[in-house]
Amino acid sequence: MASRLVKPLRSGQITIPAEFRAQLGIGADSLLEVSLVDDELRVRPVDVRRRAAGSPWFKELYDLFAPWREKANQYSEEEINAAIDDAVRAVRRKNAKRRT
């Protein structure tokens, strides 16, 4: 069993060593399941698509959003955040006008 010593940051974050991430296929968009088992912290990647197969309603929901996931991949995180910020500002302006 491979092991490494890592030191948590002040906020509690830890870095998973690069060779572990590579071996497990963990990337920037991966979801991780963190469990506490017998005084041991366990972290494993989760494939949402595989889990969806066991839950019909979740698979249906996942499939429903497939076109939006593909479309979102065309934009950077900064572009998406800017669009969200613009939408929030527009709603706040509209609500402010209603109050006056």
Q: What is the pLDDT of residue 54?
A: 67
Q: What percent of the chain has pLDDT over 90?
A: 58
Q: What is the pLDDT of residue 61?
A: 84
Q: Model's pTM, two decimal places? A: 0.47
Q: Which two tokens stand for residue 75?
A: 């934009």
Q: Which CATH number fits domain 1-46: 2.10.260, 3.40.1350, 3.30.43, 3.30.70?
A: 2.10.260
59 CB neighbour count, 10 Å cutoff: 15
- Residue 34 forms beta bridges with which residues? 43
Residues of the chain with CATH 2.10.260: 1-46
Q: Which two tokens stand for residue 1?
A: 């069993």
Average pLDDT over residues 94-98: 89
Q: What is the pLDDT of residue 55?
A: 75
Q: What is the pLDDT of residue 36?
A: 94
5-16 b/e (C-beta count within 10 Å ≥ 16 → b): eeeeeeeeeeee
Strand, helix or coil at 45?
strand
pLDDT above 80 (res 12): yes
Q: What is the pLDDT of residue 79?
A: 93
Q: How sure is the predictor about 99, in pLDDT bands with cuts at 50, 70 and 90? A: confident
Q: 44 Cβ partners below 8 Å, 6+ apart?
A: 24, 32, 33
